[in-house]
Amino acid sequence: MSLQDSLNTIIDQPADEAALWDGAYKIPWDDPDFSRRMLAEHLSQEHDLASRKREMIRTQVRWIHEHICNNTPAKLLDIGCGPGLYIEQFVALDYDCCGIDFSPASIEYAKSKLGDKAKLIEGDIRTVEFGGGYDLAMMVFGEFNVFSPDECRMILKKTFEALSPGGKLLLEAHTFDAVERIGRTPNSWYKSGPGLMGLFSDNPHICLIENHWLDKQQAALQQFHILDAADDTITSYRSTTKAWTNDQYKQLLKKAGFTQVNIHSKWPVHSRDLLLLEAGKK
């Protein structure tokens, strides 16, 4: 397909609401090149856009240790652990940790830092086995919202089954308003540069960003079109974010088997676009 044909496809093709959760609806951050570029952003202390800065992570881990675990080390499952920045802090508090992430560069980095101090699994949380006997499971920084509704239900059910009786889940998710704001953001573009402006390619490129709020689906759809200057190709990626109300989060957790669902208003965060839900297993 010629460059002109590719541009015409971008211009003429509307957002397909019916196929919102079909195919590659997530940016493939498990691709080795994506993974390598993203790792640098996870480790950056210049922004909080990939992972939080280390000082905030330390503050949150201390809060969990004191307010959720009553200052008692626990067996912990970190779902979507990235490069293990939370696990590194929990291990220092004598927690028995397992982390799962599908980014090869992140898991390799975590293993290089933690060695045999934690169990680290490279795998997709939708398909990999979680194991069992955990006192605490956590899924933080809004990762939950990038999965389809059916996959959200399945992930919660798997997590419930992985917890011991009396175990707890900490689910940090986007507020409804935050997701809607993503979808209603005006379209934009940027040219490649350092850091986050180079995530999609090592080559010089231009990135066109389409944002759509799909009211029927209650989801934000972002499409990233990468115009590669090296070979005149265009590659497009989708990123879909599901919005849930607070009541819908609670219902999802209860249908998965959890009880005593609470929202923690004093959870230390750098942005009020995220909320922390605590749910228990009897």
Q: Are residues 110 and 10 in the same domain?
A: no
pLDDT band at 185 (very low <50, low <70, confident <90, very high): very high
Dump pLDDT digits (tens) for 80-106.
Answer: 999 999 999 999 999 999 999 999 999
Q: How far apart are CA 7 and CA 134, in angstroms?
A: 50
Q: Are residues 72 and 110 in the same domain?
A: yes
Q: Are residues 138 and 264 in the same domain?
A: yes
Q: Are residues 132 and 216 in the same domain?
A: no
Q: Which residue has the tokens 């799909």?
A: 214
| Residue 86 in domain | yes
| Residue 136 in domain | yes
| Residue 159 in domain | yes
- Structural domain tally of the chain? 2
Q: Output the 3-class SS for 151-197.
A: HHHHHHHHHHHHEEEEEEEEEEEECHHHHHHHHHCCCEEEECCCHHH
Query: Is the pLDDT reported for residue 6 higher than 70?
Result: no
Query: Is the pLDDT reported for residue 57 higher than 90?
Result: yes
Dump pLDDT digits (tens) for 234-268.
Answer: 999 999 999 999 999 999 999 999 998 999 999 99
| Residue 230 in domain | yes
Q: Are residues 65 and 135 in the same domain?
A: yes
| Residue 252 in domain | yes
Write out the residue range of the structural domain in which residue 24 sits: 3-31+178-242
Q: Which residue has the tokens 């308003």?
A: 177
Q: How far apart are CA 268 and CA 60, in angstroms?
A: 6
Q: How far apart are CA 37 and CA 58, in angstroms?
A: 24
Q: Are residues 112 and 127 in the same domain?
A: yes
Q: Are residues 129 and 192 in the same domain?
A: no
Q: How far apart are CA 145 and CA 160, in angstroms?
A: 18
Per the CB < 8 A criterion, the answer to whether 56 and 268 are in contact is yes
The mean pLDDT value for 170-197 works out to: 97
Both tokens assigned to 141: 């920084």
Q: Are residues 152 and 104 in the same domain?
A: yes
> What distance separates the 2 farthest-apart alpha carbons in the chain?
61
pLDDT band at 269 (very low <50, low <70, confident <90, very high): very high
- Map residue 79 onto helix, strand or coil: strand
Say what the pLDDT of residue 18 is: 77
pLDDT band at 24 (very low <50, low <70, confident <90, very high): confident
Q: What is the DSSP string of 108-134?
A: HHHHHHHGGGSEEEES-TTTS---S-E
Query: Is the pLDDT reported for residue 231 higher than 80?
Result: yes
Find the CATH number of the domain harbouring 99. 3.40.50.150
| Residue 39 in domain | no
Q: Output the CA angle 213-214-215, nearest 5 degrees.
A: 105
- Amino acid identity of 56? M
The pTM for the full model equals: 0.95
Q: Are residues 195 and 265 in the same domain?
A: no
Query: Is the pLDDT reported for residue 199 higher than 90?
Result: yes
Per the CB < 8 A criterion, the answer to whether 218 and 149 are in contact is no
Q: Are residues 191 and 93 in the same domain?
A: no
Core vs surface per residue 164-192: b (16+ CB within 10 A) or e = eeebbbbbbbbbbebbbbbbeeeeeeeeb
Q: What is the DSSP string of 38-63?
A: HHHHHH-SS-SSSS--HHHHHHHHHH
pLDDT band at 232 (very low <50, low <70, confident <90, very high): confident
Q: Are residues 256 and 189 in the same domain?
A: no
| Residue 90 in domain | yes
Say what the pLDDT of residue 7 is: 63
Q: Are residues 189 and 165 in the same domain?
A: no
| Residue 168 in domain | yes
